[in-house]
Amino acid sequence: MPKIGDVIAGKYRLEKVAGEGGMGIVYAAEHLVLKQRVAVKVLLPDAARSEAVVERFAREAQAAARINSEHVARVLDAGSLASGAPFLVMEYLEGCDLEELLELQNALPVAEVVDYAMQACEALAHAHAVGVIHRDLKPANLFLACRPDGGNVIKMLDFGISKSMKASPTDKKLTGQHVLGSPVYMSPEQLRNAKEIDARADLWSLGVVVYEMLSGTTPFDRDGVGEIFAAILGEEPLPLHERNPKVPRELSDVIGKCLRRDPGERWQDAGEVAKALAPFGSGAWNDVVPRVEQLLARARMLKALDTPIETRIVVDAIAAAAERARTGARSVPPPSQPKPTVVDTTSTASEAAAFAPKRRVGWILAAVAVVGTIVVIGLIKKSGDAPAAAVGANVVTAQSVAITPPPAPSAEPAPVASTEKKATASATAAPAKKAPAKPSTKGPRPKFLKTRE
């Protein structure tokens, strides 16, 4: 293991030990070039001997680096020591995690806990949007960091990495060697098979964390790991408002829905949880709700567009509609209709499957064409009736040309006169000695110009 004062990767000087867990040790270090304080996490020798642990360490480090959120600790660098042990470089955080805060205060105020939970919802939403499930959400992995302005912000740590690979028989919160996660915070489906879970498993864990922060104990508090498993799989937790009468019944119901054994009966995403929690917070983090909802909606849209070509089609169509709106286009060419796909009912299943992507592209093209047409029609309506008047004038002129009989042929060529002048001369009688008024070259002023005067 590296020692205090050692320089890692030629640029990170280790200053002190900031924390230690079952898998690794975290140092406070200084970047020698930037003079910036960072946190360096190194795997312990026992854990570094396991190829599976090393591979998982690297994979989850890459996943954490993809998550761009204020509420997730940023990964700045990664590499390996001379011994081969991998290390991560993360932003350095000052403060304490919620486990340490709970040791100082047995139960926290409702509004404060809800604010922490809403920030955790935003972190989970960013993770779930890129396909990362935390799998080990607990108070020790929610860090209350100090901001430069003096405020606090929740930072989520250790995505997918258990705190300890060797559980002590007396420590019921440590992670077992064959279980991914901390048993007391794990969902029933995660206990059965940690690989076959989705984002709703993290929502269960978040419910357990909030329950503990508001009551001082976990909903399935038992003496041993086996009893904890049995309680999670077969018992209903005591409602939160019965544990702590200061907790509103409505908030207790929100947390109770996080702890439904059937994932289909829980909240389905972090946006739903944040929206349900918002009325019970201080209001300082209410803007989390629209951000999370928009983020998850975009993630669902991109997931539905499961091929790059389809994504490009939609993006190009939206860009074209925006360009037409910017340049003030007055007309829209009729959308090209995709050719219908004929599928022989006697064809094999593989042949039918080959047509599926084409049908899906056709549906997307048709939907984009309809949306683009509606947008441009709306723009035309908003631009005022001046263009309509101009178009009407052209139509009248065309009609007058159509119904006016051609002049009789003569030996001398007749002077050329526009149809408009002829129509004006025939419709309006003028004095013989007075020259006809010169037609104005100015068109009707659009109505939208009047609003600017």
User: Which helix H or strand E contains 76, and what residues bound it?
Assistant: strand 75-80
List all residues 6 or more positions away from 304 whose beta carbon is below 8 Å from its beta carbon. none
Answer whether 15's CB lies under 8 Å from 28's CB. Answer: yes
Q: What are phi and psi of 240, to 5 degrees?
A: -60, -40
Measured CA to CA in angstroms, residue 43 lies from 156, 343, 357 at distances of: 19, 57, 45
Report the Cα 450 to chain-centroid distance in Å: 43
Whether residue 6 lies in the annotated active site: no
* Among 53, 44, 49, 50, residue whose Cα is nearest residue 19: 44
The b/e string for 296-322 (b: 16+ C-beta within 10 A; e otherwise) is beebeeeeebeeeebeebbeebeeebe
Sequence-separated contacts (24+) of 227-231 with Cβ below 8 Å: 228/172, 228/183, 228/184, 229/183, 229/191
**DSSP-assigned letter for residue 342:** P
Q: Which residues contact 141 (CB under 8 A, 6 or more apart)?
A: 97, 134, 156, 157, 158, 163
In the set 115, 136, 202, 269, the catalytic residue is 136
Calpha distance 196→214 (Å, rounded): 30
Q: Which residues are catalytic?
A: 136
